[in-house]
């Protein structure tokens, strides 16, 4: 009986319905493998997270995709000079460690909060843009190099850019529409070339009407930077500026529409850098430049510049110079690196100098020696009242009452250095049409040395381009080595020495005297700067020196210099009646402190009296 029970027990156990110990062992064995599998999966997950999530998933899914700026996030900088996007900072990795993936991993460790993120990166130029809480912007800019000391970096704000043009009033539409072609000797230049259709001028701007008949047949490789699309769609005013600029550089000729561009046989590469709200940022500009130089541009024109507070023009020049010397250091270094990259590719870069009547160089991208900075003149070859100026002005071109295409098959007069720049860019395209290998440095030297000096005695601007003369130099292969800014420095230094010497000798030195010739045919004898010998005093009895700058056009500028060296200026109109020179002050002379002024006067010069 006992043996039978054990036999049955064994049989039942073998069938799995007897002793529960083996069943428990089987259950534990299955769960052991399941738990082990879960642990292995967790380990694998964390390993993959370190390899991919921390490094790659902390980056945006696609490279070079710009996140548009919300207009609500646009603020003034603390110094109130410019406008920036408050919620982001730009970073350039400059040291040996330029690994953006490793930067992203460490950035997330330092700033784990979801309010901090990387919203843009570019492996080609080692750039990163971070999105941050607005109120932390300045503190993060200061602390980031210390907290992430494995990386050397430049850090700067996402600045906003503006079009360097001023819409013209309708009253000027009766002016001659093609005056600027004659001013720069474009018609004579066309006897040599109207351009080569293999030469491409990249126009970096806010928007374009690519269906305008002036530029429709000229387009190659168009690009919308924000949308990463070759389909540029712009509407209304957002497309006026870019269309006007593109047509000035290389608009069509002999098509019975408006005027043509300076290089009518060359091509246009339009690059749109504004978002749907018309906002243009630093990052979009940089991506536009990289697209141009990587896609075959022979010349690049950018009629855009940083937005600055209009009150900046009220600051004395020495304060403006302090800003140039001390502000925006990281931006300055970055722009210089970028423009050197453009120069290394043998591509001339033309930059509008701006329209606020301030020193060129307050905008940090204007401090680099590589781009050609262009100031504007008016129809009288005088510095346009709005044009920026200073020792960094390389060249000048017409920028007042400039007629060109705008959207919807229309044409309009615009003012601005925005117009002067593409006129120069078109001229450079003509030079490259006959000598494609010519360098940007050679181009600048030729245009400066063959240029015409403008009437701008108190505020220096570069020479006015003279294209037929420049083409003659280019064709002959004789490239002059000229640094016009350095020459201007020498002239200013010599003038300073002369004035010191004159002070030492008092009135004993001989002076040039204006001579009114008998029966003069015109006012050419008046040209130059003259100093009045008549003693004049202000309302407090303190001496004031009068200087007269006369032009061959029958007008001029009066400059009054007070005992405290304050300058006050007003425009003049000249007339000659019976050998008497009448000089009429057109308006009150406004002083540089913007508080004082001198009333209008009429002056008369009589021979020997």
At 380, is the secondary structure helix, strand, or coil?
Answer: coil
300 beta partners: 202, 349
Dist CA 363 CA 389 (whole Å): 12
Q: What radius of gyration, in Å, describes the C-alpha atoms of the chain?
A: 34
> How does 206-238 read in b/e, with b if 16+ C-beta sit within 10 Å?
bbbbbebebbeebbebbbbbbeeeeebebeeeb
Which residue in the list 163, 212, 241, 460 is annotated as catalytic?
A: 241
Q: What tokens does 519 get? A: 């029966």
Catalytic residue (choose from 122, 162, 196, 205): 205
Tally of residues, the chain: 609
Active site residue 512: no
End-to-end CA distance of the chain: 158
CA 433 from chain centre, in angstroms, equals 25
Residue 596 falls in the annotated catalytic set:
no
- Beta carbons within 8 Å of 238's beta carbon, 6+ residues apart: 206, 207, 274, 278
Phi-psi region of 346 (alpha: psi -120 to 50; beta: other; left: phi over 0): left
Catalytic site residue from 418, 433, 445, 449:
418
**Helix spans in 251-348 (H):** 282-294, 317-326, 329-344
241 a catalytic residue = yes
Could you tell me the CA-to-CA distances from 309 to 81, 278, 353 in Å, in that order?
Answer: 5, 19, 16
The answer to whether 406 and 236 have CB atoms below 8 angstroms apart is no
Of 483, 407, 472, 463, whose CA–CA distance to 435 is shortest? Answer: 472
At 474 the three-state DSSP class reads helix
- Asked if residue 274 lies in contact with residue 133, where contact means CB atoms within 8 angstroms, the answer is no
DSSP 562-592: -TT--EEEEEEEEEEETTEEEEEE-SPEEET
Question: Per the structure block, which two tokens stand in for 447?
Answer: 């245009």
Residues that are catalytic: 205, 241, 418
């Amino acid at each position: 009986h006992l043996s039978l029970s054990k036999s049955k027990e064994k049989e039942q156990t073998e069938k799995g319905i007897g002793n529960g110990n083996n069943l428990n062992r089987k259950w534990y064995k299955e769960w052991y493998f399941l738990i082990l599998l879960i642990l292995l999966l967790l380990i694998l997950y964390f390993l993959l997270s370190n390899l991919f999530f921390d490094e790659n998933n902390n980056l945006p899914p696609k490279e070079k995709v710009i996140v548009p700026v919300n207009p609500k996030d646009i603020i003034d900088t603390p110094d109130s000079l410019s406008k920036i996007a408050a919620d982001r900072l730009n970073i350039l990795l400059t040291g040996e460690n330029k690994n953006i993936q490793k930067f992203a991993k460490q950035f997330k460790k330092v700033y784990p909060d979801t309010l901090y993120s990387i919203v843009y990166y570019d492996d080609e130029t080692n750039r990163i843009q971070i999105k941050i809480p607005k109120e932390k912007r300045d503190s993060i800019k200061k602390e980031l190099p210390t907290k992430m000391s494995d990386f050397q970096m430049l850090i700067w704000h996402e600045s906003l850019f503006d079009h360097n043009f001023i819409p013209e009033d309708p009253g000027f539409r009766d002016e001659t529409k093609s005056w600027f072609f004659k001013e720069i000797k474009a018609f004579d230049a066309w006897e040599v070339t109207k351009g080569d259709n293999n030469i491409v001028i990249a126009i970096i701007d806010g928007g374009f009407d690519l269906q305008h008949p002036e530029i429709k047949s000229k387009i190659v490789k168009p690009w919308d930077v924000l949308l990463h699309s070759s389909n540029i769609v712009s509407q209304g005013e957002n497309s006026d500026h870019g269309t006007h600029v593109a047509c000035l550089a290389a608009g069509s000729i002999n098509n019975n529409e408006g005027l043509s561009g300076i290089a009518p046989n060359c091509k246009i590469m339009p690059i749109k850098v504004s978002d749907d709200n018309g906002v243009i940022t630093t990052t979009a500009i940089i991506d536009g430049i990289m697209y141009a130089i990587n896609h075959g541009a022979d010349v690049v024109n950018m009629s855009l510049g940083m937005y600055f507070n209009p009150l900046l023009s009220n600051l004395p020049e020495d304060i403006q110079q302090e800003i140039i010397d001390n502000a925006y250091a990281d931006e300055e270094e970055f722009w210089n690196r970028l423009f050197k990259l453009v120069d290394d590719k043998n591509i001339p870069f033309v930059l509008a100098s701006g329209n606020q009547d301030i020193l060129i160089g307050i905008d940090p991208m204007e401090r680099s020696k590589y781009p050609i900075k262009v100031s504007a003149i008016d129809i009288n070859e005088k510095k346009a009242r709005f044009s920026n100026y200073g020792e960094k002005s390389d060249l000048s071109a017409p920028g007042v009452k400039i007629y060109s295409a705008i959207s919807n098959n229309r044409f309009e007069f615009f003012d601005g250095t925005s117009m002067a720049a593409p006129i120069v860019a078109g001229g450079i395209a003509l030079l490259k049409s006959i000598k494609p290998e010519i360098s940007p440095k050679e181009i600048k030297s030729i245009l400066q040395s063959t240029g015409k000096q403008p009437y701008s005695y108190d505020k220096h601007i570069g020479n006015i381009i003279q294209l037929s003369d420049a083409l003659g130099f280019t064709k002959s292969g004789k490239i002059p080595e000229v640094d016009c800014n350095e020459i201007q420095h020498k002239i200013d230094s010599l003038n300073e020495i002369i004035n010191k010497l004159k002070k030492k000798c008092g009135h004993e030195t001989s002076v040039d005297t204006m001579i009114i010739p008998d029966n003069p045919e015109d006012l050419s004898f008046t040209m130059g700067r003259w100093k009045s010998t008549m003693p004049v005093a202000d309302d407090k009895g303190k001496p004031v020196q009068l200087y007269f700058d006369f032009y061959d056009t029958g007008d001029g500028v009066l400059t009054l210099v007070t005992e405290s060296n304050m300058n006050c200026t007003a425009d003049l109109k000249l007339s000659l009646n019976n050998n008497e020179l009448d000089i009429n002050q057109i308006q009150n002379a406004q002083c540089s402190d913007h508080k004082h002024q001198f009333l209008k006067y009429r002056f008369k010069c009589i021979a020997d009296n």
